[in-house]
Structure formats: C-alpha cells, structure tokens
A = this chain, B = another copy of it.
Amino acid sequence: MTAPTTADSRTIAAVRHFTRFFTRRIGVLRRRLYASPFSLVEARVLYEIANRPGTSAGEVARDLGLDPGQLSRTLEGLVRRGLVRRRRAAADARRHALTATPRGVAAFAALDRASREEVAALLASLDADGRDRLAASLAAAERLLEPARLSAGEFVLRPHAIGDMGMITAAQARLYAREYGWNGEFEALVAEIAAKFIREFDPAREHCWIVERRGEIAGSIFLVKESESVAKIRLVYLESWARGAGLGRRMLDECLAFAHDKGYAKVVLWTNDCLVDARRLYERAGFVLVRSEAHHSFGKDLVGQYWSLDLAAR
C-alpha cells in the first residue's frame, strides 16, 4: 500500500537502534536478578503462574515465547522446590493446571518487590514530567509495535492539565489531516478554541475531559457555557486506535451528565457531515439536527451541521 520512503528507513533505524539499546539494558536487568534464587526464566514463569492461577503449560510457553521442552523442565524445578503445584486439569487430562503454592506466592511477591525497586532506581533521576513522558512513550511504542484490541478499562477520563491543550491541538490537526485531508487552517481553529477555553474557563459550569491510556492522550471532549441555560460541546475527537471500545459513548455520557448536573436546559454542538461516527453517536444520545450549512474550510468543501439536545426532555 504505502511505498517505501525515507521516513520508512528512518523508523527502521529507530527501531533497530532502540533494540540494541534495550538488549544491552535488559542484559543489565537480567544479571541483577541473580541476587535471587531464581533464574530469569524461572522468574518469568513464576510471574505468569502467580498472575494467572490455573493456567496451563502450553499457555505459559506461548505467552513467554518459550520452548515447551524448556518450560517442562523449568516447571519440574519449581514443583520440586514446592513453589508450584501441577495437577491434571479436570476438563482435559492432557493438560496440567498450574497454581502457585503459598511459598510460590511469597517468592513471587519478593521478586516483584525487588523488580519494582530496581526499576524505581532506574527512574530516580527523572522528574515528574520525564516520568509521564516515559510512560506515555513506552505505551505508544508498544501499541504501535503490536496493534491489539484495547479494552475500555485501560482508558481513564481526567480533567485537563497544563500542556493538554497543545497536545490535543496537535492530535486533532494530524488526525483530520490524515483522515480527511484538512489543512493547517483547522489546526489554527483548534488552537484558538483551546486558547479561548483556557482564558475564559469557568470551573463551576465548564469542563474538559481528556481520555488517556497509560499516559498517552487518546481523545477529548469539552463542555463550555454558551449562555446561562445553553451548553456547547466542543473539540470532540478520539484517536483511531482508541475506537471500538465504546469510549465515544462514555465520553458523551460523562459530558451530558455534567451538563445536566449544572442545570443547563440545552446542549448544542457543531460538526461536519463527513464525521459519520460522531454523528451516529450524537443521534443515539438524542441530539437532533437543527441546521446544515455548506462552507469551504480547512481546504475542503464541507457541510457543517448544528445539533441540539433538549436536556429537560431526558
């Protein structure tokens, strides 16, 4: 689909560079583990079993990428030391149900604590900003290297903080440029709305929700005061990788509950007809289309839509 470009080779170089870096780093982490009575493999296996009691050998082997034979012997050692119990599974006698014994659980807890302390030492020199950035970077890298269906539980909604407006501006500008070909004019508009929000923010009647997954921003929704009785929803977006987990619904629900709570009689919003998913969301929440209007913005011919929801009717 996408032809190989220089951007490609830059990313390849980045991944390879990081792999070398991390291999070296993991080598260090690995060595330290030997202060405990466990080898790295034993520790990893114990981790899996402690966190997923009743799992089978095959499952552990697949998840850790271990050879079944190697795992079989590793398990034997753990069983011999009284850390793991291996029982025939009731449903399928080929399988062995694996559980950690109380001693195994204690050993795992000690390992877990040691590992946490080790990482904490590694992060000691970072300030809060650096730590946030690191967490977000690692989460993003992981997500990009291994796309997986993300569960709704991983996402949190939180109020805005310093730096969020800029991040949202960048994210929305890139998202709509990628998906609809909108130009920089849109980024300017978002920046203006965001700036206005900061300047005129009334915490008593307005709110911004940032959707976040492991420190990485995944979306946003704003509720601002249009008049005493009318609230307006603004800057709604959700990254493509965060879609399909019911987040749009959750954001909108949260926002409408707030609006209702603050005594607004009506909620309005402006969007464009090409944003099909968003429109469906508004419809389902009870919004009705008030007016449509063709306009030329962001380098495209668009149709703007004004939607409205009567809160009293709910």
Contact = CB atoms under 8 A, between A and B. Distances in A.
Nearest to A177: B162
Interface stretch (A4-12, A252-260, A285-293): A4-12
A138 B7 contact: no
B191 A5 contact: no
Interface stretch (A91-99, A115-123, A261-269, A273-281): A115-123
A17 B142 contact: yes
A286 B130 CA distance: 35
Contacts of A128: 2, 5, 7
7 nearest A-B residue pairs (beta carbon)? A166-B170, A166-B169, A14-B135, A191-B195, A188-B198, A27-B65, A18-B138
Contacts of A142: 17-18, 21
A1 to B, nearest CB: 8
B119 A145 contact: no
A15 B165 contact: no
A187 interface: yes
5 contacts: A10-B131, A12-B120, A129-B178, A137-B140, A165-B191
A167 interface: yes
A157 B131 CA distance: 27
Query: For this complex, into which size category does the number of interface residues on chain A fall?
Result: 35 or more
Contacts of A133: 140, 144
Contacts of A183: 162
With most chain B CB atoms within 10 A of its CB, the pick from A128, A138, A201 is A138
A16 interface: yes
A25 interface: yes
A192 interface: yes
Nearest to A169: B166
Given A11-B123, A133-B144, 19 more contacts: A12-B119, A14-B215, A15-B119, A16-B115, A16-B116, A17-B138, A20-B44, A22-B26, A129-B174, A137-B137, A162-B173, A162-B184, A166-B167, A166-B169, A169-B191, A185-B198, A187-B198, A189-B195, A192-B192
